[in-house]
Every structure is written in C-alpha cells, then in structure tokens.
Structure 1
Amino acid sequence: MASLQHCPITFQARSPPSTRFTAGGKHLNLSFSGRFSSLKLAGKHRSRSRGVVRALMGDSAAANYASALADVAKSTKTLEATAADMEKLDQIFSDPNIFDFFVNPIIELEKKYDLMDELAKSSSLQPHTANFLSILIDMKRIDLIKEIVEDFDVVYNRLTETELAVVASVVKLESQHLAQIAKVVQRLTKAKNVRIKTVTDPSLVAGFTVRYGNDGSKLIDMSVKKQLDDIAAELEIGDIQLAV
C-alpha cells in the first residue's frame, strides 16, 4: 500500500469555486484535519478543491484519508450517514469495471468526474463524500478507495465503541437471526454497540459463520462445512488407528 510523501502535495483547481460548500442548507468551510495538516473543501465539488493540499506521513495513505473523512463527518454530525456512504462505495467499487475505469490513467479526468457525479447522485451520497472522491481523483489516489473504506470502518468502530461482526452465510439470514447474533457478540465482547456486516459464502453449504474481534481473529462457526470437516477429520483419525 502506497504511503504519502513527507513533502507537501499540491494541486490547483481547474476553475475557481463559485459557491461555498453547503450541507443541510448551511454554508461550510470543511477542513479534513485528521493526520492531514491541511486538506480543505470549499465550494461546489466541481471546483476540485482549490488551493493547497498537504499530507503528513502516517500509518498509511489510506488510513490518513479515512481519518480525515471521519473528522469531517464528526464536525458535520454526519458520521452515521458517512458510514453508510462507505458501505455504498464498497459495493460500487467492488465492480471491477468501475474500479478499472477510475484507476485507468488514460481516461480523461472529466469523464471520471462525470461518472462520479452520476454515482453520487444515484447512490444519494453525502456532499462531502462526493467532494472527497473528487480529491482522490484529483490526487490520483482513487486506487486506494477499497483500503480507505476498510480503514474508515476501523475509525468508525473506535469512535462509536462498536464491534464489527462479519456474518457469512449461503443465503441471506433473516433480520431476527442477525439481531440474535448481534446480542451474542455483544455479550461475548462487552461492546457498547455491535454492527453486523453480511457476506455470502456458498462454500459453507448451509449454516453461517461469525467473525469478530481485532482483524476478525475470533470465529463462531455454525456451518455445515465445519461439521463435514469435523466428520472427515474423525474418519481420517479412525483410518489411521485401524491401519496401526
């Protein structure tokens, strides 16, 4: 994963901003503070963030961007909405055609901005999330979007004292089952909040698995695959004993 350079990174907007950035009807001059010394969004996002952007090296470029976005979300009291935006972006950029389009250096920036506008509108992204994407395109760092989404999850969970539980199943579980899983994880971790993320995994055959804890290091395995693996292991042990 690429890291930000020690030296300041600068870019000049193609045209001066005509209006200040607004959210909820209020005029704002947002500053992505975080580990960034200065990263400001002023004006409509078409202005491409006029001025100077400086970034100090931190754990990683993606982590720095995620922290900066979280700072803006906190300052505008849109942390939950921004977290929802990150989930939308995770789905959007999981499409290899979309991801490849944005990281392709041959494609004109204007075409990338146009598609970004369409995606932001159709997905009802927060204005500052759309502006944030503009910065990533401007700085040719849109390739980090997947890592940024992951790191934002980490920041969000820390700020809200939330435990993330990833539930994998062959088919989507009912909401009441997910609620029961959340209660179990909360009891095990003593977390203030539990957030469930669902993924599909056909290899499980049936049942489900739950990963939680730091880096998903803890596992609750209620899958048929696990039961079949256990049976297979027992049979192998039995065969060895018979052979002896």
Structure 2
Amino acid sequence: MAVLQHTPISLQSPKSPVSARIPRTLTHSLSFSTAFPSLRLKLRLFVSNGKGGARMSSAAAGSYALALADVSKSKNTLDTTSADIEKIEKIFSDQQVYDFFVNPTIDEEKKRKVIDEISASSGLQPHTTNFLNILVDGKRIDLIQEIVKEFEVVYNKLTDTEVAVVSSVVKLESHHLAQIAKQVQKLTGAKNVRIKTLIDPSLLAGFTVSKF
C-alpha cells in the first residue's frame, strides 16, 4: 500500500518550523484567559441544490480557506499561516482531538478552552486561533480537514507554488529530492516547488513524479 509522507521538501521562501502539540488531556477544566481580536470573514451564501451535502461542504471549506488566506495576505503572514495550518493538520489527525471537537454534547466554551491550550502550546497566530474559534461557534469545525486541503490549494496559487509527488520503492535522500525539485521548477517555471514523497512498494525500481 502506498503511503504519502507529510514532510515535504521545498524550494521556496522559508516558513516557520512546524511544532504542533496536542493537549495532554482534553479535560473540561482548562483555563481560557486570552481574548483574540475579531475576524470578519466574507463568506459566500450557499443554497441547497438538492445534490446532497458533500458538494456544499466542499464549497464551504473552500470559502473558509479563501477567507483565512485573504486575512493572512492582508497581514502579510501568508507563509506563517501556512505553517499554522500544517500544525493544525497534524493536531486534528489525532482521532481523539477530532472526536472531541465534533462531539455535539460538549459545549462550545469548553472547546474554545482547548483551542486556547492548543494555540499556546503550538504558537499559533491570533488570527489563526480566532479562525478556529469561528469554526467552533459556527459548528463547522467538522470541516477542518477539508479546509486544510483547500487552504493548501489557495496558498499554492497565491505563491505560485507547484506541488509534485515523488513515488519510490524506498525513501529517497534529501539531496535527490532537491535535484528533482529543481528539475520540476525548471520544467514548470513555477516560482516555488514543494515535493511530497510517496512510498509505493508496487514500483519495480526507480521513481515517478506526478502533479499533486
């Protein structure tokens, strides 16, 4: 089975290192003392077209991601926000964390307290933290994984970043990945290149490069 590795090699401006911490325990007695500035999001209005909720959820996730990118761009913190999103992706990949936030029996105040702890331990920016609070208050935190994916798409467009997936039988050395990134940059003309690695035992030898 192919396994996508989450640590990319990049040819782009450096971003803040990813350091995501999950609270030791998701208890109901965490303190909440930091007030974050309000974040106004201009989101599209959606009307059901009778084709199910999946398309609506995808559209909503895209709009949330675009709104966060717009705020980040206006604050000139797009790269730092992208690093925040990587931390959030890592945190919410923990099933215990995700289940806690989507649990309807736990009130929003308790969820905001946990977000405060996550923000403090992971060093999230205030507007990123407030964005998570907005998702909690709007009962849209269940979209967080889709929002993470959509934000990457928006970020790549705004920064002219090409993402390529390198599939190989064994893990490639970093200098080999750097060479591949340079070739991708040369072929695509993209300003930045990010390489994601995929271990694929079905390959006989060598490696393949595909667009993400």
Matched residue type, 2:41: F
What is the DSSP-based 3-state SS (H/G/I as helix, E as strand, rest coil) of the residue aligned with 1:60?
A: helix
Aligned partners of 2:84 and 2:124 also within 8 Å: yes
Matched, 1:56 2:45: yes
Cα shift at 1:209: 4.4
Cα shift at 1:169: 5.2
Q: Which residue pairs with 1:32 in the alignment?
A: 41
Q: Which residue pairs with 2:9 in the alignment?
A: none
Q: Which residue pairs with 1:68 in the alignment?
A: 67
Listed as ranges, the gaps of 5+ residues in structure 2 are 1-33, 47-55
Aligned partners of 1:32 and 1:71 also within 8 Å: no
TM-score by length of 2: 0.69
Alpha-carbon distance in structure 2 between the residues aligned to 1:170 and 1:139: 44
Sequence identity of aligned pairs in percent? 62
Aligned partners of 2:65 and 2:151 also within 8 Å: yes
Q: Which residue pairs with 1:91 in the alignment?
A: 90
Deviations 1:149-190 (A, max 9, x none): 111111111111111123455665433222112112112322
Q: How does 1:4-153 map to 2 (within 5 A)?
A: 21=37, 30-33=39-42, 36=43, 55-57=44-46, 60-153=59-152
Aligned partners of 1:73 and 1:82 also within 8 Å: yes
Aligned partners of 1:62 and 1:148 also within 8 Å: yes
Change (3 A) 1:84 1:107: same
Change (3 A) 1:185 1:201: same
What is the DSSP-based 3-state SS (H/G/I as helix, E as strand, rest coil) of the residue aligned with 1:191?
A: coil
Aligned partners of 1:83 and 1:156 also within 8 Å: yes
TM-score by length of 1: 0.61
Alpha-carbon distance in structure 2 between the residues aligned to 1:20 and 1:119: 14
Alpha-carbon distance in structure 1 between the residues aligned to 2:204 and 2:132: 38
Matched residue type, 1:126: Q
Deviations 1:134-157 (A, max 9, x none): 000000000111111111111111
Alpha-carbon distance in structure 1 between the residues aligned to 2:129 and 2:169: 33
Change (3 A) 1:201 1:87: farther
Give the alignment's Cα RMSD to 1 decimal: 2.6
Aligned partners of 2:41 and 2:67 also within 8 Å: yes
What is the DSSP-based 3-state SS (H/G/I as helix, E as strand, rest coil) of the residue aligned with 1:140?
A: coil
- Structure scoring higher RCO (CA < 8 A, sep ≥ 6) equals 2
Q: Which residue pairs with 1:187 in the alignment?
A: 186
Matched residue type, 2:89: D
Higher strand share: 1
Change (3 A) 1:168 1:130: farther
Alpha-carbon distance in structure 2 between the residues aligned to 1:72 and 1:62: 16
Deviations 1:39-98 (A, max 9, x none): xxxxxxxxxxxxxxxx42397100000000000000000000011111111111111111
Matched residue type, 1:95: D
Aligned partners of 1:164 and 1:196 also within 8 Å: yes
Change (3 A) 1:199 1:116: farther
Cα shift at 1:205: 8.5
Listed as ranges, the gaps of 5+ residues in structure 1 are 1-17, 22-28, 37-54, 217-244
Cα shift at 1:112: 1.3
Aligned positions, number: 169
What is the DSSP-based 3-state SS (H/G/I as helix, E as strand, rest coil) of the residue aligned with 1:32?
A: coil
Q: Which residue pairs with 1:220 in the alignment?
A: none
Q: Which residue pairs with 1:175 in the alignment?
A: 174
Change (3 A) 1:155 1:201: same
Return the index of the structure with the highest Cα Rg.
1
